[in-house]
Amino acid sequence: MIIYREENEIIKKALENLNIPKRVYIFDTTLRDGEQTPGVSLTPEEKIEIAIKLDELGVDVIEAGFPVSSLGEQEAIKKICSLNLDAEICGLARAVKKDIDVAIDCGVDRIHTFIATSPLHRKYKLKKSKEEIIDIAVEAIEYIKEHGIKVEFSAEDATRTELDYLIEVYKKAVETGADIINVPDTVGVMIPRAMYYLINELKKEIKVPISVHCHNDFGLAVANSLAAVEAGAEQVHCTINGLGERGGNAALEEVVMSLMSIYGVKTNIKTQKLYDISQLVSKYTEIKVQPNKAIVGENAFAHESGIHAHGVLAHALTYEPIPPELVGQKRKIILGKHTGTHAIEAKLKELGIEVGRDINKEQFEEIVKRIKSLGDKGKRVTDRDVEAIVEDVVGKLAKKDRVVELEQIAVMTGNKVIPTASVALKIEEEIKKSSAIGVGPVDAAVKAVQKAIGEKIKLKEYHINAITGGTDALAEVIVTLEGYGREITTKAASEDIVRASVEAVIDGINKILVKKEK
């Protein structure tokens, strides 16, 4: 696995003299803070399935929920605890006896207990003095320890708390028996430099492991978590897909991949499973992963521009910081208006079509033109679209063998208008124009072509398939024509069904006429 700290001189220099832990523990809170994402509510069965997958992924701690919040929550947490997973199972509890009792009753390995410490929370939410808050925290920690359960203590809104007081609270918590202290950036106001400073200060005073819990209100949750690790934090709270209250929490996949690939810090995560669990969580929470989301987004390893696709095909690291397989993803070469010939050639190869063997240069150029024109119309070109274009281009007779070409087509249709089509065909250097009416625009257009050609060629069958969904889908038209004692079936594809229909008919006519000449 590439480690940028070893390979990149700038990163190496920037991280010199820092006490970065060799191994960081991943505390996953998808099933607690992640479930607090507005609109998300998981059933006990869904929570259990996600917990099993988190365990397989290799997280060290699963915060399975907030036990006191509901009976369903307790049912799910109890079941998760009974599974004997490798991960430690943790339950959240306010620093109150009732919450702690319910968490103990669920059978958790660790209780994450918290009380707010910032002036804002003391004054408006808790209406308690600094001393009262310390007393409540101490009492809660003592009570949990009496039950022989591991305690993780959080000073809620730590990052907006007076530093001296925060240190005092954490020191008291550790003296009372807290096994690990967690530093929540509850409303995400930290910046990396400030987070580094805070953790560095705490490290001087606190002798148990330090954890961070960063929210993403300013989009800095991952950066702040990494800054905390740079200052020596040993554990990071995160969620799959960055779910969580408001702007969410630090995204697990981003924290883990940065730690492992940039810092060279070990975690227990089996990174190849990241994409699948991201999909599972997205399915159950019904929160879509944004396409440009780092690591697990659909575009994270997709390349469309000619320059990038060419680079990646020559050497993947040119435009990919890590191989997609490392996180369970696949490289995608997306065809569209920015696509270059290298990418199209590679895509054709992927579909089993080789330039020079299956198609000639002229056909390849036509395929490139058609793909780019589809992209120009704002369409994402799928593999099926490419196949239809190839079939269409390959199925056509070479220009020199064609007797009839479509020069122009105009169609009029609408409410209270009889569908009418006019076509101009070039038949052996002579332009022939005709128009016809029909039951619809396709019917009118096909009739206009037939009229120009004469009665000797007849349309026997007509089928249309939409290749991809949407009103801009590529349509494939298959026609069977009969004339001069022959029957020809041919097809054409275009995002315009009238055009596809006319082209299929003209192609069929060409094939009949060429055969007739021969």
Nearer to ligand KIV, 213 or 396 (CB): 213
* C-beta of residue 91 within 8 angstroms of C-beta of residue 100: no
Question: Is the distance from CB of 359 to CB of 353 less than 8 angstroms?
Answer: yes
Q: Do the beta carbons of residue 348 and residue 386 sit within 8 Å? A: yes
Residue whose C-alpha is closest to residue 80's, from 105, 50, 59: 50
Q: Pattern 104-143, binding to Zn ion, x per CB under 5 A? A: ----------------------------------------
Shortest CB 247 distance to Zn ion, Å: 11
Contact between 146 and 188 under an 8 Å Cβ cutoff? The reply is: no
Contacted by 152, from ligand KIV, Zn ion, none: CB < 5 to 8 Å by type: none
d(CA 48, CA 385): 40
Contacted by 370, from ligand KIV, Zn ion, none: CB < 5 to 8 Å by type: none
> Residue 447 binds which entry of Zn ion, ligand KIV, none, with Cβ cut-offs from 5 to 8 Å by kind?
none
User: Considering beta carbons, is residue 59 or 425 the nearer one to Zn ion?
Assistant: 59
From the list Zn ion, ligand KIV, none, pick the one residue 114 interacts with, judged by a Cβ distance below 5 to 8 Å according to partner type. Answer: ligand KIV
Question: How many chain residues interact with ligand KIV (CB under 6 A)?
Answer: 8
Could you say which residues in the range 138-197 bind ligand KIV, by CB under 6 A?
154, 156, 184, 186
The residue (of 60 and 156) whose beta carbon lies closer to ligand KIV is 156
Residue 507 contact partner, candidates ligand KIV, Zn ion, none, CB within 5 to 8 A by sort of partner: none
Of 300, 186, 296, residue with least CA distance to 245 = 186
Give the residue with the Cβ less far from ligand KIV, 184 or 297: 184
Question: Does position 60 bind Zn ion by CB under 5 A?
Answer: no
Nearer to ligand KIV (CB atom), residue 249 or residue 494: 249
Binding partner of residue 320 among ligand KIV, Zn ion, none, CB cut-off 5 to 8 Å per kind:
none
Taking the least distance from each CB to ligand KIV, the nearer of 118 and 339 is 118
**Cα–Cα distance list, 266 to 275, 276, 334, 349, 357 (Å):** 19, 21, 33, 38, 48
Give least dist CB 213 to ligand KIV, A. Answer: 5
Containing H/E element for 25?
strand 25-28
- State the nearest-atom distance from the C-beta of 46 to ligand KIV, in Å: 21
Biggest alpha carbon–alpha carbon distance for the chain:
102
**Amino acid letter, residue 260:** M
156 binds, among Zn ion, ligand KIV, none (CB under 5 to 8 A by kind): ligand KIV
Stretch that binds Zn ion, among 26-34, 139-147, 267-275, 305-313 (CB under 5 A): 26-34
Q: Cβ of 303: how many Cβ atoms within 10 Å?
A: 23
Contact string (CB under 6 A) for ligand KIV, positions 192-221, x = contact: ---------------------x-x------
Would you say 33 or 46 has its CB closer to Zn ion? 33
Q: Which residue, 27 or 196, has its beta carbon nearer to Zn ion?
A: 27
Given the complex with Zn ion, which of 214 and 274 has the nearer CB atom? 214
Token reading at 380: 């994402």
| Sole window of 33-41, 296-304, 407-415, 492-500 interacting with Zn ion (rule: CB under 5 A) | 33-41
67 versus 184: smaller Cβ distance to ligand KIV: 184
CA distances from 440 to 164, 414, 420, 481 (A): 80, 9, 8, 20
Min dist. Cβ of residue 224 to ligand KIV (A): 12
387, containing H or E segment:
helix 383-395
For helices 306-314 and 341-350, the axis angle rounded to 10 degrees is: 60
Cβ pair 460, 482 in contact under 8 A? yes
Question: Residues 38, 282: contact at Cβ < 8 Å?
Answer: no
Distance of closest approach, residue 250 Cβ to Zn ion, in angstroms: 10
114 is an interface residue for ligand KIV by CB under 6 A: yes
Phi–psi pair at 380, nearest 5 degrees = -85, 125
**For ligand KIV, which is the closer residue by CB, 212 or 300?**
212
The reply on whether position 33 binds ligand KIV by CB under 6 A is: yes
Q: How many whole angstroms separate alpha carbon 62 and alpha carbon 110? A: 10
Residue 154 partner contact from ligand KIV, Zn ion, none using kind-dependent CB cut-offs of 5 to 8 Å: ligand KIV
Whole-number minimum distance, CB 215 to Zn ion, in Å? 6
Helical (H) or strand (E) element with 511: helix 497-517
Binding to ligand KIV, residues 384-403 (CB under 6 A): none
Q: What is the token pair recorded at 344?
A: 């199209």
Which strands make up the sheet holding 457-466, listed edge to edge?
457-466, 475-483, 486-494
Residue 152 contacts residue 122 (beta carbons within 8 Å): no
490 binds, among ligand KIV, Zn ion, none (CB under 5 to 8 A by kind): none
* Helical ranges in 124-230 per DSSP H: 130-146, 163-176, 192-205, 221-230
Supply the DSSP string of 263-325, one letter for each residue: I--B-S--GGGHHHHHHHHHHHHT-PPPTT-TTTSTTTTEE-SHHHHHHHHH-GGGT-SS-GG
Q: How far is the CB of 285 from ligand KIV (least distance, A)?
A: 17
Q: Rounded distance, CA 372 to CA 374, Å?
A: 5
What is the number of residues in the chain? 518
Looking at the Cβ atoms of 157 and 392, the one nearer to Zn ion is 157
* Closest CB 188 distance from ligand KIV, rounded Å: 9
The residue sitting closest to Zn ion, measured at its beta carbon, is 33
Residues that bind ligand KIV (CB under 6 A): 33, 114, 154, 156, 184, 186, 213, 215
Residues that bind Zn ion (CB under 5 A): 33
